[in-house]
């Protein structure tokens, strides 16, 4: 690797999930000191075999967010990169979504991004290379069936990304969101219908993409890494779609 993030300090929420782990691994490869923040040390992957120092974090709790940021401040005295990758999905129409489910997905995907960013700002302001990368989704632009609340959270993350970039650009803090499509993580497994052979579902999903492939966590980590680096010094307030061309099509025909 090229040492693009040599000496930088990074905090990655959802750091023990599919996307978060890949980001932590890439950041470590690039020379960063990385904190992988998640509900549990094994996250969604069911494994503690992951890059970065684990820090316990529930992004829905302000107290927990404060404690995680305090840990980074006490151990490193600095923070250069915040990646808000913690997220959950809910496969329901609004009619089938309870108010508790709605509030919970909003709390994790939207309030979590708000709280972690808010409490990271004092450290980021002191950095000369400050970058926040949020996790939106192509579902914040267009909708998959039965993902109503999830789509709403990602639209909110997109709007919040632009607003934060406008407010904090003058402080030297860049804020971007990546907007993945189908990426091979535990969240995608959950998205495939019950009772359908996952290999058949994956093959079907590949067919609707112009590139005829599903993305990998590494694809997300590569884009996040660039956005975190000085190569992206002029990039802020943008939503970076990474979906194998899926959203470029007028309809998903099998041509
Ligand atoms: N996988 C995809 O196809 C896809 C597509 C578009 C966007 N995304 C987004 O990418 C991000 C990462 O998703 P992923 O695919 O890695 O999912 P994942 O389920 O593998 O990982 C998510 C991680 O977030 C953690 N988490 C959940 N609630 C939390 C909380 N309250 N506090 C702290 N951590 C919490 C989980 O423990 C898990 O480790 C999410 O925001 C997701 O919406 C994923």
- Report the alpha-carbon distance of residue 121 to residue 126 in Å, rounded: 9
12 lines ligand 1 (CB under 6 A): no
Evaluate: CB of 147 within 6 angstroms of ligand 1. no
Model pLDDT for residues 43-85, shown as the tens digit of each residue:
888 877 779 999 999 999 999 999 999 999 999 999 999 999 9
The burial class, CB within 10 Å (0-12 / 13-18 / 19+), for 76 is middle
Residues whose CB falls within 8 Å of the CB of residue 41, separated by 6 or more in sequence, listed in order: 16, 48, 54, 56
Is residue 39 lining ligand 1, measured as CB closer than 6 Å?
Answer: yes
The CATH fold assigned to 9-183+216-245 is Rossmann fold (3.40.50)
150 is catalytic: yes
pLDDT greater than 70 at residue 255: no
Distance 85 CA to ligand 1 centre (A): 6
Distance 81 CA to ligand 1 centre (A): 18
Q: Which two tokens stand for residue 123?
A: 């450290």
Spatial CA neighbour of 85 closest among 165, 166, 23:
23
CA distance 206 to 245: 11
Q: Where do the domains of the chain lie?
A: 9-183+216-245
| Tokens 């069911």 sit on residue | 46
| pTM > 0.95 | yes
Confidence bin at 33 (pLDDT 50/70/90): very high
Whether 243 is in the pocket of ligand 1, judged by its Cβ within 6 Å, is no
Q: How far, in Å, from the CA of 113 to the mean position of ligand 1?
A: 12
């Amino acid at each position: 690797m090229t040492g693009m993030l040599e000496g930088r300090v990074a905090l990655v929420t959802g750091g023990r999930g599919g996307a978060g782990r890949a980001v932590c691994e890439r950041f470590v490869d690039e020379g960063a000191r990385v904190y992988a923040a998640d509900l549990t040390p094994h996250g969604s992957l069911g494994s503690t075999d992951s890059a970065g120092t684990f820090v316990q974090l529930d992004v829905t709790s302000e107290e927990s967010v404060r404690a995680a940021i305090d840990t980074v401040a006490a151990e490193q005295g600095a923070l250069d990169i915040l990646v808000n990758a913690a997220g959950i999905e809910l496969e329901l129409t609004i009619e089938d979504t309870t108010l508790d489910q709605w509030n919970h997905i909003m709390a994790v995907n939207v309030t979590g991004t708000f709280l972690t960013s808010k409490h990271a700002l004092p450290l980021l302001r002191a950095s000369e290379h400050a970058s926040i990368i949020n996790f939106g989704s192509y579902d914040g632009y267009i909708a998959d069936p039965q993902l109503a609340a999830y789509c709403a959270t990602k639209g909110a993350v997109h709007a919040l990304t632009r607003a934060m970039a406008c407010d904090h650009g003058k402080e030297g803090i860049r804020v971007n969101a990546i907007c993945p499509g189908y990426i091979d993580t535990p969240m995608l497994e959950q998205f495939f219908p019950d009772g359908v052979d996952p290999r058949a579902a994956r093959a079907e999903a590949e067919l609707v993409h112009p590139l005829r492939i599903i993305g990998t966590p590494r694809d997300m980590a590569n884009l996040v890494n660039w956005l975190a680096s000085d190569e992206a010094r002029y990039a802020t307030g943008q939503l970076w779609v990474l979906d194998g061309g899926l959203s470029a099509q007028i309809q998903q025909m099998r041509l």
